[in-house]
Amino acid sequence: MSAVATTRQESWARSTWDYYVTTIRTQLQAQFQYRAAVYAYMVALVAEPVIYLVVWTTIARSQGGSVQGIGVGQFAAYYVVWTLVRGWNVVFTPFGWEWRIREGEFSAALLRPQHPIHFELAWWTGQKLVWSVFYIPVFVILSLVFHPALHPRPLEIVVFFFAIWGAYVLRTINNFILGMITIWTTRAGAIFELWFLSELLLSGRLLPLQLMPHWVQSITSWFPFKWTFYFPIESLVGNMSNTALLRGLGIQLLWIGICVTVMRFVWRLAARHYSAVGN
Amino acid sequence: MHALRLAATYLRLGALNELQYRANFFVSVFQSGLAVAVGLAVLALVYSHTPSLNGWTHSELMVVLGVQILLGGIIHALIQPNMQQLMDEVRDGKLDHALTKPEDAQLIVSLRTLRLWQLTEVISGAAVIGVGVARLGSHIGAGRSVAFLVLLLIGALLLYCFWLVLATIAFWLINVWFLSEMFEGIYQVGRWPIGVYPGWMRYSFTYLVPIGFAITVPAQAMTHRLHGHTVVIAFVFAAAVAVVTRWFWRFGLKRYSGASA
């Protein structure tokens, strides 16, 4: 074996690396052109947590400064970090996959030797890098207005960094799996909406999960949702112990592993079942 | 009178067009059902932690939610599709088709499309309002109901004006695909009474982005919070906004020079 096999593997790794770098570079140059669009998009994105924050701040103030032990400054920290996490887990949507499949654009993806997920991961990584630059003033303004109680330890910052990339990968893969449903039924919009509804309620996107009824909290352990919102946010704002932080990263990684397995399985079935629609 | 007849014809055409796709009705019902379920779940969550939000009770906030969903239905059925078409045509240089017609251009671009099935949101919103009012248990007289309907119409007019101002920006920026997303984001502000927001936000969401007037004020009529002078201010403000919007639309239109025609 093995000389040949090793070289082949090495060249696969190298070409995949090249592929990522080139796609990210192209995306960097493309995205910097649309500054107005990026900021308008941020306004829409920031509106959602600001609304939640205002509502919970009002409740906390009316109850002497906190709701179940979460104070005004901690709510502010949760929802300000929320904006950063949300920015990171904006990825290609299942509606996008549906559109590609319906319009027949998916045929081209099947001809490439790469799994289509690589392009998405690389393309959106480029978008994140641009986004993070534009995000800095937004973060400063939000902090000046809402005074978040944010005092992370160094380890929390490191874990947070890995957690947002983990959330990004996990959400990309899940949206891809969902999108593939379109190959069997050309209108899967209703399923997508149910999924996002569950995500809204079970991920910590709507509110810190401690405020959910206990039975909802126990449900959240059975879904990947909270590893894309609640865990990254809490890793930075929640004063978790070092073991809890690392354990969290481990479980997030486990979920990525499970979802990658499902993705490979679904992808194999889908590629077999696919029949082009459109031109 | 003539303008009204024209509007009626356009809307009937739009409705007939949509009636071809009846399966979409069920999709819309499903979506509005989900929207109502989420809205109610969020309210239940909030009120499991507090008896009142800035003086508003659970039932009163259901009225606010209902008004927000109802007006959202009007936006999605009538306002947003037309504005989207307008923005797309400005970008593609196809607006000439509307401009060369011998009628008022603003009227035409505002009425060309109707997404009939989105009106299910109007019904589900009205149902939520009904439940909220019933749970309040207080008597709503004819006078209040009329005030509510008039204020709702004013609200729809204000939201239309705001959208038209946004869409008119397309004459300068050309590629404005992000505006719909932005509007949807900001519109969620209306789910809560405008008094909840801190001072500077309250003012911008009342006068700059007229969501306070459009949603909170009609809800006030149904929850015994409405003052006579608010109605007067709403009338004057809506008239002023309508005039300014028309002026801005004409100002933007002057910049248009077809790209492909």
pLDDT for res A1: 47
- The residue whose two tokens read 């709503």 is B140
pLDDT for res A248: 94
Provide the 8-state DSSP code for B56: B
Prediction ipTM score: 0.85
Q: Mean pLDDT across chain A, nearest whole number?
A: 87
Interface mutation vs chain B, best among A54, A93, A200, A203, most B CBs within 10 Å: A54
pLDDT for res B102: 85
Of residues A40, A47, A63, nearest to B50 (C-beta): A63
Q: What is the pLDDT of residues A158-207, one digit of tens each?
A: 999 999 999 999 999 999 999 888 888 766 778 888 899 999 999 999 99
For chain A, positions 9-38, list CB contacts with chain B under 8 A: 36-37
- Output the six-digit token pair for A97: 């996959």
Q: Please report, in tens digits, the pLDDT of each residue of chain B (261 residues total).
A: 788 888 889 888 888 888 888 777 888 888 889 889 999 999 999 999 999 898 899 999 999 999 999 999 999 999 999 999 999 998 888 888 888 888 888 998 998 888 888 899 999 999 999 999 999 887 788 888 899 999 999 999 999 999 999 999 888 887 777 888 888 888 999 999 998 998 888 888 888 888 888 999 999 988 888 888 888 999 999 999 999 999 999 999 888 876 554
> Which range has highest mean pLDDT (A98-107, A268-277, B118-127)?
B118-127
* CB pair distance less than 8 Å for A47 and B50: no
Q: Are residues B89 and B169 in contact, defined by beta-carbon separation less than 8 angstroms? A: no
Query: Hey, what's the torsion of the CAs at A245, A251, A254, A255, to 10 degrees?
Result: -120
DSSP chain A: -THHHHHHHHHHHHHHHHHHHHHHHHHHHHHTT-HHHHHHHHHHHHHHHHHHHHHHHHHHHHTTSEETTEEHHHHHHHHHHHHHHHHHT----HHHHHHHHHTTTHHHHHHSSS-HHHHHHHHHHHHHHHHHHHHHHHHHHHHHHH-------HHHHHHHHHHHHHHHHHHHHHHHHHHHGGGTSS--HHHHHHHHHHHHHHSSSSS-GGGS-HHHHHHHTTSSGGGTTHHHHHHHHS---HHHHHHHHHHHHHHHHHHHHHHHHHHHHHHHH------
Chain B within 8 Å of A189 (Cβ-Cβ)?
A: yes
**B58 vs A43, residue with greater confidence:** B58
* CB pair distance less than 8 Å for B196 and A62: no
Question: What ranges in B20-103 are assigned the alpha helix state H?
Answer: 23-47, 58-74, 80-92, 96-99
Q: What is the pTM of this model?
A: 0.86
Residues 6 or more apart in contact with residue A10 via CB below 8 angstroms: none
Residues 6 or more apart in contact with residue A28 via CB below 8 angstroms: A126, A129, A130
Q: Are residues A43 and B182 in contact, defined by beta-carbon separation less than 8 angstroms? A: yes
Q: Are residues B245 and B164 in contact, defined by beta-carbon separation less than 8 angstroms? A: yes
Banded model confidence at residue A235, pLDDT cuts 50, 70, 90: very high
Chain B within 8 Å of A144 (Cβ-Cβ)?
A: no
Q: Are residues B169 and B252 in contact, defined by beta-carbon separation less than 8 angstroms? A: yes
Chain B within 8 Å of A262 (Cβ-Cβ)?
A: no
Residue A271 has pLDDT above 90, yes or no: no
**A33 vs B111, residue with greater confidence:** B111
Provide the 8-state DSSP code for A70: E
> How many Å apart are CA A272 and CA A175, to the nearest integer?
20
> How many Å apart are CA A168 and CA A160, to the nearest integer?
12
Chain A within 8 Å of B239 (Cβ-Cβ)?
A: no
Q: CA of B173: which chain A residue's CA is closest?
A: A36
Q: Are residues B160 and B214 in contact, defined by beta-carbon separation less than 8 angstroms? A: no
pLDDT for res B237: 93
* CB pair distance less than 8 Å for B53 and A58: yes
pLDDT for res A278: 54
Of residues B49, B177, B181, nearest to A211 (C-beta): B49
> Could you state, in order of their start, the residue ranges of all structural domains in chain A?
3-278
Q: What is the pLDDT of residues A77-90, one digit of tens each?
A: 999 999 999 999 88
Chain A within 8 Å of B188 (Cβ-Cβ)?
A: yes
- Output the six-digit token pair for A36: 């107005």
* CB pair distance less than 8 Å for B46 and A36: no
pLDDT for res A186: 64
